[in-house]
Chain A
Amino acid sequence: MTGLDLRRPGDPGSTLTLAHGRGRLLRVLSTTLVASWFLLPFAPLALWAFANQWSFPSTLPTEWGFDGLSSAIAQGALPALGTSLLLSLVVAALATPLGALAARALTFGTVPWPRTVSIALLAPIALPPFAAVLGLNVLLLRAHIPPEAGLVLVLVVMAVPYTTFTMRVAYAAHDIHYEEEARTLGASRWNILWRVHIPLVAPALSRAAFLAFLVGWSDYVVTVVVGGGEVVTLPLVTASMAAGIGNDSAVAILSLSAIVPPLALLALAGFAGRRPRTGAVQKTPNVGERP
Chain B
Amino acid sequence: MVLPALVPAVFVVAGGVGAAAMQSLGLMPLVGPVRFSADAYTGQAEDLFRALGLSLAIAAVSTVIAAVFGVGTALLIVGGRWCGRILAATSAATVTIPHLIGAATVGLLLADSGVLARVLGVPPELWPSLVGGPWWLAVVAEYAWKESAFIALIVAGTLITRVARFDEAAALLGATRWMRFRFVMLPLALPALAISSTIAFVYTLGSYEVAWLLGRTYPEPLAVMALRLFNSVSLTARPEAAAAAVLTTLVSFLVVGACFWALRKTALWR
Q: Which residues of A contact B (CB under 8 A)?
A: 1-2, 4-9, 11, 13-14, 16-17, 19, 23, 27-28, 30-31, 34-35, 37-45, 47-48, 54, 56-59, 98-99, 101-102, 104-106, 110-111, 117, 120-121, 123-136, 138-139, 153-154, 156-158, 160, 164, 214, 217-221, 225, 235, 238-239, 242-243, 248, 251-252, 254-255, 258-259, 262-263, 266, 270
Contact = CB atoms under 8 A, between A and B. Distances in A.
Closest 10 CB pairs of A and B: A128-B206, A135-B20, A135-B19, A132-B16, A131-B245, A218-B98, A105-B1, A44-B108, A262-B96, A31-B83
A206 to B, nearest CB: 14
Given A16-B171, A41-B102, A47 B115 contact: yes
A139 B83 contact: no
A44 B241 contact: no
Contacts of A255: 101, 104-105
B18 A135 contact: yes
Interface residues of B, number: 106
B156 A38 contact: no
Prevailing SS type, chain B contact patch: helix
Given A135-B19, A263-B93, A251 B108 contact: yes
Interface string B63-81: 0000001001100111111
B118 interface: yes
B86 A35 contact: yes
Contact of A117 (B2, B73, B113, B180): B2
Interface in B92-136: 92-109, 113-115, 118-119, 121, 123-124
B137 interface: no
B5 A164 contact: yes
A125 B202 contact: yes
Prevailing SS type, chain A contact patch: helix
A133 B76 contact: no
Interface of B: 1-2, 4-6, 8-13, 15-23, 28, 30, 69, 72-73, 76-109, 113-115, 118-119, 121, 123-124, 145, 148-150, 153-154, 156-157, 160-161, 164, 167-168, 171-172, 177, 180, 199, 202, 205-209, 213, 223, 226-227, 230, 241-242, 245-246, 248-249, 252-253, 255-256
B12 A220 contact: no
A47 B105 CA distance: 11
24 contacts: A4-B88, A13-B168, A17-B171, A28-B83, A35-B86, A37-B145, A38-B149, A41-B102, A111-B2, A121-B2, A127-B253, A128-B249, A131-B245, A134-B226, A134-B241, A134-B245, A138-B23, A139-B15, A214-B95, A220-B100, A239-B213, A255-B104, A259-B97, A262-B97
A153 to B, nearest CB: 6
A45 B13 contact: no
Contacts of B88: 4, 6
Given A2-B153, A31-B86, A132-B12, A41 B76 contact: no
Given A4-B88, A43-B109, A242-B103, 9 more contacts: A7-B84, A34-B73, A37-B69, A105-B1, A121-B6, A135-B18, A138-B19, A218-B100, A238-B104
A11 B168 CA distance: 13
A157 B12 contact: yes
Contacts of B91: 38
A181 B14 CA distance: 42
A44 B113 CA distance: 12
Contacts of B171: 16-17
A258 B101 contact: yes
Contacts of B245: 128, 130-131, 134-135
Given A128-B249, A238-B100, A117 B227 contact: no
Contacts of A129: 206-208
A14 B78 contact: no
A139 B108 contact: no
Nearest to B107: A242
Given A130-B223, A251-B108, A259-B101, A101 B13 contact: no
A127 B16 contact: yes
Contacts of B69: 34, 37
Nearest to B79: A27
Contacts of A219: 98
Contacts of B145: 37-38, 41
B6 A120 contact: yes
Contact of B118 (A4, A31, A59, A263): A59
Nearest to B250: A131
Contacts of B21: 135
Given A43-B115, A56-B113, A242-B103, A128 B205 contact: yes
A252 B104 CA distance: 8
A255 to B, nearest CB: 5
Contact of A23 (B22, B92, B177, B242): B177
